Structure 1
């Protein structure tokens, strides 16, 4: 090939590459967030987040933040560890170019827990000594349900899906879970033998939604859970609504997420 033609070919190749991100960046996902102490809520520095499925690992910074890039599309399992704390693990599903952010909490060991509580007590005494009375301020915002429901509140703020809080359930005087979901868009109910089952309008007949009770899939207990035990309800009617953490083989049938009064953060091993 003549020198001039070769130079033109190289220049053309460079022009095609400029402005186009690498193929891997277009098809991979990112997982980011913070690692926190489950008792005090303080960020954990030098905690390690390991991607078990790939062997990739990263450590948190001085604010407890971490970021894992280049995750292939699909389900990945993560192992989280920090000195003085029990290890934790979780599995998440990622879509192409998705950036998922979550706060991960680790339970302190008994020795570390005692130290944290003692430190908190000392700080409380010191703060009380220099407290200053201020005029009362009216509060109109909804009170937080606590750290356990942080994911519920975060997803409710996005506007994706449909939600019922404990206050709304009590105000509606619903008798069953199905009663609480009636009137929500995109749902229908199949009733037989005195029992009604929810089904998403966009799902094929016989395609039952997946129930997640206190962050665990439970398709046996979920549909029949007593309404008095429910403190929060999330309903996602199709793939376009379902958050990444609930994506899976059955997400096309919809997902119903239930938070109960007896649920608690599982002890990590």
Structure 2
């Protein structure tokens, strides 16, 4: 079991302030050319699952656009690992709640890479509240905008630049099936991502474009100490059957599989990476 001390940060959180530091596969992930020549857009790629996916994609041969809010140090660290793998890294900061910015992300990818082969919708925000009345209208609207509406805007903008064989991957959550009461808006959008991805799989099948989602359980990322009370952080992950939180490096291989041509008949799936907790 991994034990992390009680700790708290200001949102959106920074990797360098976490104790212990998450494992993104920096020293462990070995690529084998499974994404050779592909161009990927990953939102929320500065840290956590997004960083681990960016590192894995690069080591598998993909160029990566790193979309993030304003965590410049974290994003530059992700870019360094991508470039160390011999691939191109493009940094695009900005707010995913803004539809125009979502279109800018895709337009930048097309300008830099010429196309989009893989779109990973991973950017997320959450807040913890024990009472419904404590959730402001503004927080509700922003959570839906960042987590769910951005997925729509990004996908709509990317489709004209995606060829048959392209892959769309949404980051859902075990919360979509087993909602945590204190994370109500987050629960709702993660269910929405699962549903939207399943719908896209059917809608885009005639174009040869696949859509799937990944449903992580508790994973040790900056989102946790920056959005949960310190005492909850200390016990984070104890609800999993493996009695610990997952590391981002343990989630990234599923994204690689879904992005690769090996998954050519995998569409409409939701893959659980939950440490033993089943999803429906």
TM-score (norm 2): 0.22
TM-score (norm 1): 0.23
Higher relative contact order (CA 8 A, sep 6+): 2
> Which has the greater radius of gyration?
1
